[in-house]
Structure 1
Amino acid sequence: MTRRQTRIPCKNTRRPIALRGGMRYHSFVTLDQIQEVPMRRILSILLILALLPVSALAADDPKALPAVGDVVEGFKVVDSRDFPLIGGTAVLFEHERTGALLMYLANEDTDRAFDLTFRTQPIDNTGLPHVFEHSTLDGSEKYPSKALFFNLSSQTYNTFMNAMTLPTMTTYPVASLSEAQLLKYADYYTDSCLNPVIMDDESIFREEAWRYRLPDMDGELTIEGTVYSEMLGAITLERAANINLMGTAFPGSVAANDHGGLPEDIPSMTFESLCAYHDLYYHPSNLIAYLYGDFEDYAAFLRLLDRAFEPFERRDFTFEDAGYTPLTESVEAEYGFPVEAGSDTANASAVHYAYVCPGLNRDREAERTVNLLMNLFSSSASRLMQNLEKALPKATFSVGFDMTGPEDLVLFVAENVDREDAALFKQTVDESIAQTLEEGFPQDIVDGITASIELSTALLMENSGVGVNMIESVAYEYVNSGDPYCYMDYVEGLDTIDELNAQGAYREAIAAWLAPDQITALAVTYPVPGLKEENDAALRERLAQVKADMTEEELQAIIDRSNATEAEPDDAAKYISELQAVTVESLPEEVREYALSDETGEDGVRRLNVEAAVDGIGRTDVWLDGAGFTEEELLWLHLFTSVLGEMDTDAHTRDELDALVERYFYDTVLRMSILGRDETCHVCLRLGWIAREEDLEAGYDLMYELLYGTDLTDVERLKELVGEERASLKSSFKSMPYSIGLYRGLARYDRGSLISDHYNYLDYYEFLGEAERMLEEEPERVVEKLEHIQASLNNRANAVTAYAGTKEGIALNRTLADAFLAKLGEAPVEAVELDLPVPADSEGIIIDSNAQYNGHVIDLESCGFEEYDAALNVVTTAVYDAYLIPQLRDRYGAYGVLHAATEDSLYLLSYRDPNVAETFAVYEGLGDFMRGLEMDQDTLDGYILSAYVGYAMPTGVLSGALDAIVDALTEEDPDSTLENMRALKALKVEDLGRYADMYDALVENGYKVTVGGASVINENGELYDAVLDPLGAKDAGPAVMEDVQDDDPSATAVHFAVGSGFMLPLSDTEFGVHEPATVGDLAGALYCMTGGDPEDQDNALQALQGYGLFPQDLTVGDPLTDEAADGLLSDFSQAVGLSYERDHELTGEPLTRGELAGVIMVFVEMLDTDE
């Protein structure tokens, strides 16, 4: 069953990433459709008679909308207007006593949503708004349970529960398919926001914000905490670049602070400052509430809020920014960002360039015009984007409109660039704006954007989760503009893009707000290798001093908290029972059925069609057979797909193609995919897009031109595109590091995942590096390879076509698809038996990260399952809620954990985790936890409710039709959804015991992985059979050292020396454990300790000889005796001011490399002790 994220039409307002209360994956999703489902879930329980009468209209029909001036449960209707985007009406209420606002977005969507949004500011960098967002839902006066939020998330009938922090607001959305359930959530949310337990419970502060950790008196004092750990992983160079720009543009402003908190500043937060933050902002007068969807009795929610607001009186809120000093001239600044020594810094910088627009936010019409202008600038067909791509071909660009500061910003961003590229980027932006001012926007660009917006608007309700996404957009615009209908005005303005362009309004806006004399701010953020280690060392030193200054009693209190294994008593069960409004017995067993036509003609083409009435819009797809490609050719195929649309064709330049693609393709798919199951699976090239029926023919013509008319002989352009592709893949490794480990784990057990991992991840990254080399040394071979792929794809054998749309659209598509395939050749496809290496049993994967991602993956067959078991949805949810969250998040400070089952596999991954060993120790207890689990049926039913909602979620007509097609292609049983629903409802407590062995298998036999920073991976090197560096795409760990056996006395030392970078293996397969050690080996190790490269032994020896630490007559190849090594280490230690004591008797015998590794390990441990 597929769940899709909501697409809101072409909104280019720059909205910073919201910091959510947590994250997890629901276990009902398939691998190809894994969706992030936030962890935070919420509830309520209050139905009370109102003190004020309901209006006559609402009393007669509780579903009917009131008129302006009506008073409903203490709320007066102050405005109402149609909202065509959601097919409904937006009604604005104001609470008469407190001034709180409520907007009811009324339509026919049964995935109803409720939200409370407060305007908040990051008054410093300690993360106060973020920590309070986490803390708010840790219990309230009515529901005093810290565990309740996650329990409700996993044990009630919700489609979304979370809370998010943005720079100017904190928002608390929740959604459910049940109106009665949503009302109970609303009570819990409201009481939590207005009367949170944290105001009297400092332990919540320690859990959510930060706390010291100390295992024992001799241990190292460290810091942990949910938000602290989250931000360690969240502070990337790209995020820091955003904050740096705000500080450059708005010196002294609160807008320059990070709303999530900086790890170095979070420990400055106190419990008192957090409580004061609540008093400052959490009041009904500073609140706007939202209702979304189809309600039988919306007034019940107003009644609930009116009663909750009784203790409050109206209060004036002003948001001052006293420290802000407006710029008087344009400024430029550079900022270093800490990364580990040895990090690849090429194309790793970010440049943010902004036009500051004083006064624009006080002219709403002009502001809306500039905001709409961003749609045109951000189009890939715009002069701006085309000029930027030519100037900086390896970079990625974005354009945005930021309303969160004291003045509006028009922002241009370049990522994957070098520090020195800033001037060229700024110059290109300025020149492109000037060119646009002079020439305007061509009509074909405007037509393309207009067509895309029309489709996006028409298909909005096809998505799931519309209410939550819509509320966040509407609230964000209101908070930053002061106008509750700002978002609606923007959406209505999308219909006028063409008209405004014809009137010259955009050129007028450019002249007024983007003129050459406009004040600008430019911020360059660049990586500084080694600075991370320096910062880490400084933190360790500071914490060591903190520890030294503590009394023994203070230290013991920290030790006791750190080692506490029993959670504090928390009676969440009774509150869950009160807040559940849906029972398992009442769950609907309804699945929309689609009439699927699935035929294979005499021509061998398989044709699938599903009728879906969506007003002349349809989805078309074509799959071309790729089973004949070899392992190497699959990599070239991926590269081929990445350059399509980015190079000239035989009919159009790439600049012209940008406009055509935007005009005729919507929600385009042009990528490799896997069809079939198990050993029959094979690669296909999938071509698909959504279009109006009148545009289908033009779309097919354009797709044919891209595939078979692209000119692949432009070597210089290929160099640019390959570099851009490699930089983009590198960025994805850093932004979604857990995905590397997850897919490598799945690749061990599933052939389709193994193939997909090959052409998408590490092998592909390594291939792109080789392609770059070939383009420099033998470019004709690259062109030849790509043209071979292009020619091989010109084959309709075994093709598959599909269409979801109207009956007329199906007939039209049949004609057009047949004509498209008729232009192709036809030749038998001989399937290639792919021979791909399987990942090691356990791997450490190095990335630039301040946090880790630790996990296990296994196939269900290895756990004893012959087929998929729907109960796994419930089991993984229960384990997540009852064991993983209390242990990993509450006890050890990890931000979250991902735990789910796909159709074939089971996976478990911690998220933004400060630990490694502690996490795997928690995993080892899973089997015993399941064996000792004591759960009643009521609690189990709660988990069933949470899991069931994934199957019950409604889908749009077109989306559901497409799902039916995909299910047929993947050989999914069309009755599986209904069968899974019934299996969940039939699950009993006594069934749970059989899953304990599954967790034993997961931990003992499953793939084991840590994705994290180099220092942490190397410190834990003994846990892994292989250590990989994705940016180098090579195995750098002990798994390749076949001459190092686990029972070898030197094994631990060798793994340490290699993992720490002090010594290198002699070859890809051997360390040379019994080979003679040389002077060069020791020189390289000591050189590495000073920041040098251990592989460069000649320079290492010269440097040490230059300092007088090694005799001048030594050479790198000289054999090394234990006496010589002892003397050299002693001299080195004395020179750097450290003590050295020998721990063994000297024999004068030559050392082996294995023995030298042991000497180095002891030496390093001695240095650590001396420090």
Structure 2
Amino acid sequence: MTHNDPCNDSIQPGQILHGFRVVKALPVPDINAFFYELTHEASGASHIHISAKDRENTFAVAFKTVPEDSTGVAHILEHTALCGSAKYPVRDPFFSMIKRSLNTFMNAFTSSDWTMYPFATQNRKDFYNLMDVYLDAAFFPSIDELSFKQEGHRLEFAPAQKDSEEKLTFKGVVYNEMKGAMSSPHQILGRALNKALMPETTYANNSGGDPEAIPDLTWEELKAFHGRHYHPSNAYFFTYGDMPLTDHLEIISRKVLTQFDKIDPKTTVAPQTRWEAPKEVVEYYPADDEEGRDNRSQVSLAWLVTDIRNTEEVLAFSLLSQILLGNAAAPLRKALIDANLGSSLCDATGFDSDARDASFGCGLKETRPENADAIEALIFETLTRIADEGIDTELIDSAIHQMEIRRREISNTPYPYGIKLLLGISGCWFHSGEPQRLLLLDEDLDTIKQGVKKGGYFEGLIRERLIENPHRVRFTLAPDSTLAEKQAQQEQEKLEAIAQTLTEEQKAKIRTDAEQLKALQESEEDISSLPTLELEDIPATIDSVTPESRGGGRLFHYPCATNSLLYYTGVLEAGALDSDLIPLVPFFCSSFMKMGTDEKNYEELTRAISAHTGGMGLSPASRRRYDGSRSALPLIAINSKCLSRNRGAMFDLLTETLTRYRFTDLKRLRSLLLEYRAAMESSVVQNGHSLAISLANRNFTDSLALSELWSGVSQIQYIKSITEPLVRGNASDEDLALIGDQMTRIGQAFINTGNLRCALASDSDTLALAESDQEALSLALPKGSSPLTFASVPANCQPVHEGWATNSAVSFVASSFPVVSMGHEDAPALSIIARLLRSLYLHREIREKGGAYGAFAAYSAEEGTFSMGSYRDPHVVRTLSAYDAAARFITSTDYTDEDVKEAILQACSVIDRPETPAAAARKGFFRELVGLSDDTRRTYKEGLLSLNADKVRIAAARYFPPKDHLKSVAVISGAERLSGLKGRLEKDLTVQKI
């Protein structure tokens, strides 16, 4: 075979490279890349390399991890392996390397049957520094007992309160993380559904760890799990980018593979034995006792449908999921929503190919348990009707069109592109399939197209794999207002039982361990053994995009390589908006493309959007200008993309939706309101840290006040208030018509020619052809003047001291205060202070000592605010005390020029993070809108590179400690925990309910 891979042009199948045999070498035309699969003959390790002209190179090592219980052994091992290794015997090499690197991504993942350690970077020296640390951590970790107790679980005696004896408690980072995770209905349903569908397999266990079972895991069991699972015979190496493959192979072979003999890791996951009859399962989640609410359950119907290694059926079910459920016009989704049995599709809806056996599920949330029969019957009636009547070929063509866009689009959100490719092929690869077929789809897609042409292809799949398939579960997840209390009581009883059996020697051991762990966490350590970059490794330049301005500064062209896609971003700046409309703007954006127009009902509009574009939508944003006014810039962004050949159809749809919108379909409006509410409510536990910071910041600037109203707890409360009559079933058509009228008024305020500025990104030929389409769109809009200053949500500059109650077994603790913004000489130092606090202070005090899952500091250069926050935190008082003590740390001499250099590396890795061409264009366009010039950005980076410890301390003294009259505190937690804080803080929190 010959191919034109400039980095690896001599590599052919059958070659032996550093002990690896090349099994496959194939071009992947859709992404302009080359695929290589290799096997290490002596150890059995597998390696996939994807060679591409991308300077953001990726490395990962993954292992199949198949727990046999729910102690969280795989998850705890993921954490503990990163707590020091043979070559790097430091307390936390992972977090230390975040500071000493220009990485664009570093993390570790534990899935239900694998654990992965990936990173990405643009710097060759950095790549091999990180690879060395990752390889040593994975294959030669220390796994000492204190690290296991810190990261996994341990017993400690809590300090005695007045008139009470000291009490035994459970602590540990993973223990607290999973207490938080298992407060989320989404997490509970996903894990319990896996257990219900595949009870004979590893998926019956909670790989993250069940808080009830985590304390049963022993240190010896953890080490034994590592010995069998983290072995080259069970290892999967992945590399991606423009660096030569042979260099990677030489290092992996020399540093790791030559030091092991081949074993049988016994990690093969057998498929679940298929059932002859369906099952019903009911599980519960902890919930508040909301009087009058009996519709807070989820009902799901789920099937095991195919072997993950059957790439044709995996592709077919991906398409079928899009056909049946992918948008508002999809027949199964429409039938479920229109039945008024629930507010929105349940969690874990759709096709899931992550496990050994792929599954398909659908159902409803915010329903009642007694609706389960009706929901199941509705699903079967709808599937039978679709199978009997046949699927509209337009729906099939649309699903294939969406897949073509996904194949062509190169995106680095939410992960770098190389890691996204890895996650896409990992399941098939780890279970001995043919992963290259997931990148080279044409053969399977042609088979599917031929089947469709003959007739009945997807209909047959529906009959065989769904309607006639007895391996299914009807799963109900119901609220239990007593469950959280029961779980807390069970934990306490377990601790009391343990306490009664402890000998004096065991009690002494617990105290000694606590003292030793505290000493370890507080000790200064020498991390000089870890590799690092220097400031001279940082490029002094900034990445910039220069648009071609047209239409008097109202249209910007960004010529770039987008693989035959055209991207459109329009921005509507807010003019005068009546106060009753302001909180409705986010829902207006969410529903705008889902309501229909004067020409098309919502189903017809949804089909047209899916058939001709990669999606169209509106989103609100509250930005702040960088000019002298520093005023708020509220806006609505219009985003759309399409294949170049469909640009005319896309602009026709944009014109129709922006000029002929309507909000008169009250039944549809009701469904969208309930769906939006459900999404808002389910976001609280997942995004508690962000919501807490938004609450703490909201009074400092008008743009932050508006941001909280549009995307924070205030939005959740507002939506709950206006939808409460819908939830309780006593809303009238007049109530809905009023909301519809308000939505129309929002459109009239925003959508006019004077308010619109837009950007197009694509290749030059496509841009030239699209310009006339954009001009036609602008001319079709109502005439209007330039936007007025928007100041309807003024900030009062008053700090808050608040607690916000929700269903959570852990807390999210935020503290914020105003500082200066970008353009001020102290802005670079404040950015470095945030990183120093996170890496040198908050990580140790709140995560290592306190057991929270995460802790961070953040400086907003746009808004001029400084925040500290914690994530899934078992403490509140202790954490707030740590925030107060942060001022003493950052103004002290407890950090060095080397620490500042590492913080500069972190800051510059964010500044220099590569963007795909389309994303770079969009960010450049928004910089134009807010007035952030390249000169300001360059000066900011130069300021970063000029800092040292003394300069940072001088700047810190100007802002730390923050004055009490400026400092805000917001805590999101369970109601009982918040009530228990009364009298324990310098200033009591005002407690409210989310």
- What TM-score, normalized to structure 1? 0.77
Give, in whole Å, the separation in 1 of the partners of 2:133 and 2:771: 53
Secondary structure of 1:514's match?
Answer: helix
Secondary structure of 1:110's match?
Answer: coil
Instruction: Identify the residue that residue 84 of structure 2 maps to in structure 1.
Output: 139
Q: Single out whichever of 90-99 and 800-809 deviates more from structure 2.
A: 800-809
Give, in whole Å, the separation in 2 of the partners of 1:272 and 1:421: 48
Q: Write out aligned runs for 1:526-537 (5 A).
A: 526-537=478-489
Instruction: Identify the residue that residue 712 of structure 1 maps to in structure 2.
Output: 663
Give, in whole Å, the separation in 2 of the partners of 1:61 and 1:812: 34
Deviation at 1:980, TM superposition (A): 3.0
* Equivalent of residue 329 in structure 1, options 274, 277, 280: 277
Q: Write out aligned runs for 1:18-29 (5 A).
A: none
Deviation at 1:499, TM superposition (A): 4.8
Give, in whole Å, the separation in 1 of the partners of 2:332 and 2:271: 35
Deviation at 1:503, TM superposition (A): 3.7
Instruction: Identify the residue that residue 397 of structure 2 maps to in structure 1.
Output: 447
Give, in whole Å, the separation in 1 of the partners of 2:677 and 2:411: 36
* Equivalent of residue 182 in structure 1, options 124, 127, 146: 127
Q: Single out whichever of 880-889 and 698-707 deviates more from structure 2.
A: 698-707
Instruction: Identify the residue that residue 1019 of structure 1 maps to in structure 2.
Output: 980
Secondary structure of 1:221's match?
Answer: strand
Contact 1:594/1:611 (CA < 8 Å) preserved in 2? no
Give, in whole Å, the separation in 2 of the partners of 1:182 and 1:469: 18
Instruction: Identify the residue that residue 612 of structure 2 maps to in structure 1.
Output: 664
Contact 1:382/1:441 (CA < 8 Å) preserved in 2? no
**Cα–Cα, structure 1 residues 169 and 489, in superposed 2: closer, same or farther, change >3 Å?**
farther
| Cα-to-partner distance string for 1:107-165 (whole Å, 9 max, x where unaligned) | 11111111111111121010011001111121111222222221111222222221111
Instruction: Identify the residue that residue 379 of structure 2 maps to in structure 1.
Output: 429
- Is residue 826 of structure 1 aligned with residue 786 of structure 2? no
**Cα–Cα, structure 1 residues 523 and 575, in superposed 2: closer, same or farther, change >3 Å?**
same
Q: Which has the larger radius of gyration?
A: 1
Contact 1:76/1:95 (CA < 8 Å) preserved in 2? yes
| Cα-to-partner distance string for 1:350-403 (whole Å, 9 max, x where unaligned) | 22322234x745755445433443333332132112212212461125643344
Secondary structure of 2:576's match?
Answer: coil
**Cα–Cα, structure 1 residues 497 and 750, in superposed 2: closer, same or farther, change >3 Å?**
farther
Contact 1:104/1:291 (CA < 8 Å) preserved in 2? yes
Q: Single out whichever of 401-410 and 254-263 deviates more from structure 2.
A: 401-410
Instruction: Identify the residue that residue 675 of structure 2 maps to in structure 1.
Output: 724
* Equivalent of residue 734 in structure 2, options 778, 788, 791: 778
- Is residue 191 of structure 1 aligned with residue 136 of structure 2? yes
Deviation at 1:589, TM superposition (A): 2.5
* Equivalent of residue 529 in structure 2, options 554, 566, 575: 575
Contact 2:196/2:281 (CA < 8 Å) preserved in 1? yes
Contact 1:857/1:1002 (CA < 8 Å) preserved in 2? no
**Cα–Cα, structure 1 residues 480 and 404, in superposed 2: closer, same or farther, change >3 Å?**
farther
Task: State the AA in 1 paired with 2:470.
Answer: Q
Q: Single out whichever of 219-228 and 729-738 deviates more from structure 2.
A: 729-738
Unpaired runs of 5+ in structure 1?
1-56, 1032-1171
Task: State the AA in 2 paired with 1:280.
Answer: R
Contact 2:298/2:364 (CA < 8 Å) preserved in 1? yes
Instruction: Identify the residue that residue 302 of structure 2 maps to in structure 1.
Output: 354
Give, in whole Å, the separation in 1 of the partners of 2:680 and 2:975: 19
Unpaired runs of 5+ in structure 2?
none
**Cα–Cα, structure 1 residues 219 and 345, in superposed 2: closer, same or farther, change >3 Å?**
farther
- What TM-score, normalized to structure 2? 0.90
Give, in whole Å, the separation in 2 of the partners of 1:865 and 1:920: 30
Give, in whole Å, the separation in 2 of the partners of 1:673 and 1:327: 50
Instruction: Identify the residue that residue 853 of structure 1 maps to in structure 2.
Output: 812
Contact 2:318/2:351 (CA < 8 Å) preserved in 1? yes
- Is residue 374 of structure 1 aligned with residue 321 of structure 2? yes
Give, in whole Å, the separation in 2 of the partners of 1:729 and 1:491: 39
**Cα–Cα, structure 1 residues 251 and 600, in superposed 2: closer, same or farther, change >3 Å?**
closer
Give, in whole Å, the separation in 2 of the partners of 1:329 and 1:190: 46
Contact 1:762/1:1030 (CA < 8 Å) preserved in 2? no
Contact 2:307/2:356 (CA < 8 Å) preserved in 1? no
Deviation at 1:918, TM superposition (A): 0.9
Give, in whole Å, the separation in 2 of the partners of 1:667 and 1:98: 46
- Is residue 395 of structure 1 aligned with residue 344 of structure 2? yes
Secondary structure of 2:782's match?
Answer: coil
Q: Single out whichever of 535-544 and 482-491 deviates more from structure 2.
A: 482-491
Task: State the AA in 1 paired with 2:774.
Answer: A
Instruction: Identify the residue that residue 211 of structure 1 maps to in structure 2.
Output: 154
Deviation at 1:271, TM superposition (A): 0.8
Instruction: Identify the residue that residue 744 of structure 2 maps to in structure 1.
Output: 787
Instruction: Identify the residue that residue 221 of structure 1 maps to in structure 2.
Output: 168
Give, in whole Å, the separation in 1 of the partners of 2:708 and 2:156: 38
Q: Write out aligned runs for 1:722-871 (5 A).
A: 722-772=673-723, 773=725, 775-776=731-732, 778-779=734-735, 780-793=737-750, 795-828=752-785, 833-836=791-794, 838=796, 841-861=800-820, 866=824, 869-871=827-829
Task: State the AA in 2 paired with 1:308.
Answer: V
Instruction: Identify the residue that residue 882 of structure 2 maps to in structure 1.
Output: 922
Instruction: Identify the residue that residue 595 of structure 1 maps to in structure 2.
Output: 546
Q: Single out whichever of 945-954 and 901-910 deviates more from structure 2.
A: 945-954
Task: State the AA in 2 paired with 1:450.
Answer: I
**Cα–Cα, structure 1 residues 254 and 144, in superposed 2: closer, same or farther, change >3 Å?**
same
| Cα-to-partner distance string for 1:8-45 (whole Å, 9 max, x where unaligned) | xxxxxxxxxxxxxxxxxxxxxxxxxxxxxxxxxxxxxx
Deviation at 1:65, TM superposition (A): 4.4
Give, in whole Å, the separation in 1 of the partners of 2:445 and 2:542: 36
Contact 1:356/1:520 (CA < 8 Å) preserved in 2? yes
- Is residue 623 of structure 1 aligned with residue 576 of structure 2? no
Instruction: Identify the residue that residue 145 of structure 2 maps to in structure 1.
Output: 202
Instruction: Identify the residue that residue 514 of structure 1 maps to in structure 2.
Output: 466
**Cα–Cα, structure 1 residues 901 and 669, in superposed 2: closer, same or farther, change >3 Å?**
farther
Deviation at 1:491, TM superposition (A): 7.7
Give, in whole Å, the separation in 2 of the partners of 1:669 and 1:462: 20
Instruction: Identify the residue that residue 953 of structure 2 maps to in structure 1.
Output: 993
Secondary structure of 2:856's match?
Answer: strand
Task: State the AA in 2 paired with 1:860.
Answer: V
**Cα–Cα, structure 1 residues 254 and 586, in superposed 2: closer, same or farther, change >3 Å?**
closer
Give, in whole Å, the separation in 1 of the partners of 2:767 and 2:21: 50
Task: State the AA in 2 paired with 1:160.
Answer: F
Q: Single out whichever of 685-694 and 73-82 deviates more from structure 2.
A: 685-694
Give, in whole Å, the separation in 2 of the partners of 1:867 and 1:419: 60
Contact 2:319/2:400 (CA < 8 Å) preserved in 1? no
Give, in whole Å, the separation in 2 of the partners of 1:89 and 1:642: 39
Secondary structure of 2:753's match?
Answer: coil
Identity of matched residues, %: 22
Give, in whole Å, the separation in 1 of the partners of 2:141 and 2:311: 37
Contact 1:674/1:756 (CA < 8 Å) preserved in 2? yes
**Cα–Cα, structure 1 residues 793 and 963, in superposed 2: closer, same or farther, change >3 Å?**
closer
Instruction: Identify the residue that residue 978 of structure 1 maps to in structure 2.
Output: 938
Contact 1:897/1:910 (CA < 8 Å) preserved in 2? yes
Secondary structure of 1:765's match?
Answer: helix
| Cα-to-partner distance string for 1:618-656 (whole Å, 9 max, x where unaligned) | 322333342210221123443333332333432122222
Q: Single out whichever of 816-825 and 1008-1017 deviates more from structure 2.
A: 816-825
| Cα-to-partner distance string for 1:732-757 (whole Å, 9 max, x where unaligned) | 22331222222122322121121122
Q: Single out whichever of 244-253 and 1001-1010 deviates more from structure 2.
A: 1001-1010
**Cα–Cα, structure 1 residues 246 and 769, in superposed 2: closer, same or farther, change >3 Å?**
closer
Task: State the AA in 1 paired with 2:378.
Answer: T
Q: Write out aligned runs for 1:22-37 (5 A).
A: none
Deviation at 1:202, TM superposition (A): 0.9
Q: Write out aligned runs for 1:867-906 (5 A).
A: 869-903=827-861, 904-906=864-866
Secondary structure of 1:103's match?
Answer: strand
Contact 2:102/2:123 (CA < 8 Å) preserved in 1? yes
Task: State the AA in 2 paired with 1:1017.
Answer: L
Secondary structure of 2:792's match?
Answer: coil
Deviation at 1:718, TM superposition (A): 2.5
Task: State the AA in 1 paired with 2:380.
Answer: D
Secondary structure of 1:575's match?
Answer: coil
Contact 1:372/1:490 (CA < 8 Å) preserved in 2? no
